[in-house]
Amino acid sequence: MVSHMDSKIITILQKSGAINNKAHKFAKKLIKPDMSIYDIGTKIDNYIIEQGGFPAWPVNLSVNNQAAHNSYSKDSDYKLDENDVLKVDIGVSIDGYITDASQTIVFNKTHEKLRECTFKALESSKKYLEENYKTAKISKIGEIIEEKIRSYGYKPISNLTGHYIDRYKTHDFPSIPNVLSDLDYKFSEFDKAFAIEPFASDGNGFVSEGEKIYIFEFVEDKAIRNQGARQILEEIKKFKGMPFSEYWVGKDLGEFNRKVALRELLRSEIISGYPVLMDKKGCFVSQWEDTFIIDLKEGLLDLVNIHELF
């Protein structure tokens, strides 16, 4: 069993969490029907920077059957509809120390039950962790989440999970399933922050990769001939492995040359992409997420307090 995290790191993570909380409140106030995903995404990412943090990834704005990894793009002029279910997934980095949180926004009351079920699954998970922080197991969290979501008549998404978070690393071992599993690790065994993120669906409860890619990540350094690709590669390295948007790099290359350079980096496997993850067409998905620390002296520390947004 680990002792507890360095107090200086906890302080930085708490600052990150406070910015994440403010960004979510900003998003909730900002987002309305008829707004474009591009406008929403750029405003949220800029807000994080204005508050003294940095987006740990381009804000995820996943609509309806999209569960994760949809983000803003000038190539898409999608505007929100009154019947849409929007997942807003925000990561905030301060010096590589990351907090991760998401909320579901709906405009139509017919989706409120779906929104509520993932929130209640997260709240039930938090309660279990608070009461059993020294002995709490990952397998029990999956059981709690699955039971709560199914009690509402929906399906937990079985191939999406919560996760641990390390410095500059958004997803680290071990994963935290949203269904019952045999992962009997105790949370107190790991000296890192972790994210619990229930997903619920009225579809298959299983996601697959779509064709669209709006989020990228550095894989490894290689020689490449394209001058624009070399320029972007040097910019990418500054993110130290954290995911990025094409609009964060190559701003002086122009639209066409930037896309050519990114395509070359993908082809050479210098970077990889995060395809949009989707359940079946026509269904709806909800998500809530928060980041926590287990401290054996203080107990469970809730870094973002995303419950304030419900």
Q: Which of 24, 45, 69, 100 is catalytic?
A: 100
Closest CA relative to residue 304, chosen from 10, 15, 1:
15
- Does the annotation count 100 as an active-site position? yes
- Does the annotation count 269 as an active-site position? no
Q: Which of 24, 69, 89, 264 is catalytic?
A: 89
Cβ pair 276, 209 in contact under 8 A: yes
Give the contacts of 57 (CB within 8 A, at least 6 positions apart). 91, 170, 215, 242, 243, 244
Three-state DSSP class for 165?
strand
In 220-307, which ranges are E strands?
A: 244-245, 271-278, 285-287, 290-295, 299-302
Q: Which of 163, 246, 279, 290 is catalytic?
A: 163
Residue 91, Cα to own-chain centre: how many angstroms?
6
The Cα 292–Cα 304 span in angstroms is 8
Q: Which of 246, 289, 290, 295 is catalytic?
A: 289
- Does the annotation count 307 as an active-site position? no
Q: Which of 4, 166, 171, 191 is catalytic?
A: 171
Check residue 96 and report its DSSP letter.
T
- Does the annotation count 89 as an active-site position? yes
Burial class (CB in 10 A: 0-12, 13-18, 19+), 305: middle
Q: Which residue has the tokens 């997934």?
A: 89
User: CA 47 → CA 98, 109, 249, distances in Å?
Assistant: 16, 29, 18
Give the contacts of 140 (CB within 8 A, at least 6 positions apart). 128
Catalytic residues: 89, 100, 163, 171, 197, 289
